[in-house]
Structures are given as structure tokens and as C-alpha cells.
Amino acid sequence: MVKNKSAQGQLDNSFQSGRVVTSYDVARKAGVSQSAVSRCFKPGASVSKKMREKVMKVATELGYEPNAIARSLITKRSNLVAVIISNLTNLYYPEVLAQLSQRLSDRGIRVLLFALDTESHADQVLAQIWQYQVDGVIAAAKLTNDQLAEFEKRQKPLVFYNRFYSNQAVNAVCCDQAEGAYHLVKGLVAAGHQSFGIIGGPDDSVVGRERTDASAACLSTMGTSDVTIVDGSFSYECGGAGVEMIREKRGSLPDAIICVNDMTAIGAIDALRYGHGKNVPEDVSVVGFDGVGPATWASFDLTTMRQPVGRMTEGAVEMLMERMENPDLPPEKRLFAGVFVDGTSAVFA
């Protein structure tokens, strides 16, 4: 009985479930003004020790948490950053997302996630982004020029992740695709490979095209003309399909196959081994790009260029935060060299 009563006593006003506790509730119960409560939750604000203790005690009792929505409305800072990621099923991106999320969260920023199913469809997503008043955007997806212009007009900081717009003044962190491609190609050629296949990305992928083009250009520079190029889709399946297409186009399999990313390379290796009865790397060398987790698995032990994801995500977050503080900073592109991973899926010199 007594217990019940005291329990009810606690429930008096703002404790009833469902009703959200506001700064006014805390203020009333603590016998102070709402502004005082507000100040107690602002670091460095002018509040006496006594006041802070009194307010914090009541706040804890009532389970008060400042309403970030109301705060954003007046401060014009949502502490939200939108992260646009185009295909999470590519094994490379979960890692990127996890790291971005971690680093932003360490800085007191929350992540509003937009997972696109394709590279396009960004328009509805952008409308959402404007509505939610995010403080900035990190995009691992392609945007049109019109969309870029919107960012400009709204002064929203934007940092691209691995989308390099060479002709636009935008912020970006990228892995140096061309340099990586050159490194791989040179090593393959030096090891004596004479004929090459390249399995590229889909039409609309910038990263894919850069890697493919750079590889082809390097091969051409080095005087290799036996090069067969086919399109892919960054997926495991397209690795096998690519191998088949190359074989058809060329008549037989080449000495080495350069894949636009690790997933494709793994698919190619499996197809070569289990579909065509070839040994990798004895019969055919295979190299990839990215350095995803499965690339290091014993079954594949892929020769690849690993992207320094840690430094890239750190760079992206840092650049974005800087521009959230100071929107007038000039656009900047940070280009990170890939890290060569000397696997055993290719004969390499």
C-alpha cells in the first residue's frame, strides 16, 4: 500500500509514460526558469554551480533529454549529416559506412542514411536531405550538375567519396585509381604477361571507367596490344560472366585479367577455377581493386590495390566538418594512393 502510494506520488506529472519531458517540466519542478535549464545543458554557459546541480538532479529524476529537434530549429544546426551510398551490397561500402558513422558519431554528429539501389534516383533523396536540414552531406554516389548546383545554391557542404569530378570544383576524397591501375599493369607486364582481359564497371560508374581507362592506357603505353575489354557490374556474378565474354571475344583466355574491383576478381577466379578448369595464377593471373575483406581469404589471396579506407573516411569527415564551420573554404580534393597488396592471384614482378 505504502509502496504503491509513493510510486504514484512519483508519477504525479511529467512521469506518466508517453508524455515527453520538456525543459519547462524540469524548470517547474526545480523552481527555476526554462532558460536556466537550457543553459545547464549548454557547455560553457553562465550558470552557477548550485543551479547546475539542482537542475541536473531534477533532469535525471525526470529522465529529461533536450529535444534536438527544437534545438536545431533555433540554432540552425541539426548535427545531422546525410550519407548517400549507392550499393551497400558491394562489399566495399559497408566498411566505409561503418567508419564514417563511427567517426561522425565521435564528433557528436548523427548519420542520416540514404542507401540508393542504383547510382541514380538521387533526386528524391536530395529533396529529403533539404527537408531535414542536414549540416552536410557525404556522397558515395554520382550527382548531376543540376544537383551539384543545388548544393552550391543552398551552401550545403558536400564531400564526395571516391567520385572524382575532374572538371568541377567540388570537395572529394578519392583513391588514385589511375596510379593504382598503372602499378598493377606494370607489375603484370614486367612479369611477362602478354595478353590481357579487363572486366570493367557499368557504364555510369566513374570509378569503374577511371580504372578501366587507366589500365588500358597503361597497357597501350607499354606496347601491349592484345587487350580485351568487357563491361561488368562490380559484382561476383559479373566476374564469371566477364571471363566468358572475354574468352568469346578473344577466342581464348588471356594471360591476365584485370578486374575493376575485388568482387569481380573473386568471381573471375572462381569461374576460371571451377568453370574453366584453370589454375590461378599459373594459367591466368587475376588482379582486383579495393582490398575488401574477402580478398585476403586464403581461397583467393588476391593481388589488389587496397584503398586506405581509414584515412579516406577520416579525410572525408574532416573536410566536411571544416566546411560546416566555415562554408567559405575553397573546394579541395584529396587523392590517396592505393596500397599494393601482394597476393598470390597473379604472377607479379
* Residue ranges binding a copy of itself (CB under 8 A): 15, 17-18, 20, 63, 65-70, 72-73, 78, 80, 83, 88-89, 91, 93-95, 97-98, 101-102, 105, 110-115, 117, 127-128, 130-133, 150, 152-155, 236, 266-267, 269-271, 273-275, 293-294, 297-300, 327
C-alpha cell at 30: 526545480
> Contact, 268 vs 290, CB < 8 A?
no
Task: Find which of a copy of itself, DNA, none residue 143 binds, CB within 5 to 8 Å per kind.
Answer: none
Considering the complex, state which of residue 79 and residue 344 has its C-beta at the smaller distance from DNA: 79
Minimum distance from residue 266 beta carbon to a copy of itself (Å): 7
Compute the residue count for the chain: 349
Nearer to DNA, 6 or 46 (CB): 46
Rounded Cα distance, 215 and 185, in Å: 6
Q: Which residues pair with 83 in a beta bridge?
A: 113, 138
Please report how close the Cβ of residue 67 comes to a copy of itself at its closest, in angstroms: 6
Using rule CB under 7 A, residue 13 touches DNA: no
SS3 per-residue string spanning 204-250: CCHHHHHHHHHHHHHHHHCCCCCEEEECCCCCHHHHHHHHHHHHHHH
Nearest approach in angstroms of CB 41 to DNA is 5
- Distance of alpha carbon 113 from its chain centroid, rounded? 10
Site for DNA in 138-197 (CB under 7 A): none
Contact mark string toward DNA, 56..95, x via CB under 7 A: --------x-xx--xx-xxxx-------------------
230 phi, psi to nearest 5 deg: -130, 160
Site track 280-309 with DNA (rule: CB under 7 A), x = hit? ------------------------------
Question: Cα–Cα distance between 243 and 240 in angstroms, integer?
Answer: 5
CB atoms within 10 A of CB 23: 21
Q: Distance between CA 203 and CA 332 in Å, rounded?
A: 27
Fill in the amino acid letter for 69: I
Nearer of residues 110 and 250 to DNA, judged by Cβ: 110
Among 7, 20, 98, 113, binds DNA (CB under 7 A): 20
**Alpha helices by DSSP H, the chain:** 2-10, 23-30, 34-40, 49-62, 68-75, 92-106, 122-131, 145-154, 177-190, 206-221, 236-250, 262-270, 309-325
102 binds, among a copy of itself, DNA, none (CB under 5 to 8 A by kind): a copy of itself
Q: Report the C-alpha gap between 277 and 282 in whole angstroms.
A: 12
Provide the grid cell at 79: 548535427
| Residue of 3, 5, 50, 153 that binds DNA (CB under 7 A) | 50
Q: Pick one of 34, 87, 147, 224: the residue that binds DNA (CB under 7 A).
A: 34
Judged by CB under 7 A, the chain residues 225 through 244 that form the site for DNA are none
To a copy of itself, the closest distance from the beta carbon of 111 in angstroms equals: 5
Which positions touch DNA (CB under 7 A)? 20, 22-24, 31-36, 38-39, 41-42, 46-48, 50-51, 64, 66-67, 70-71, 73-76
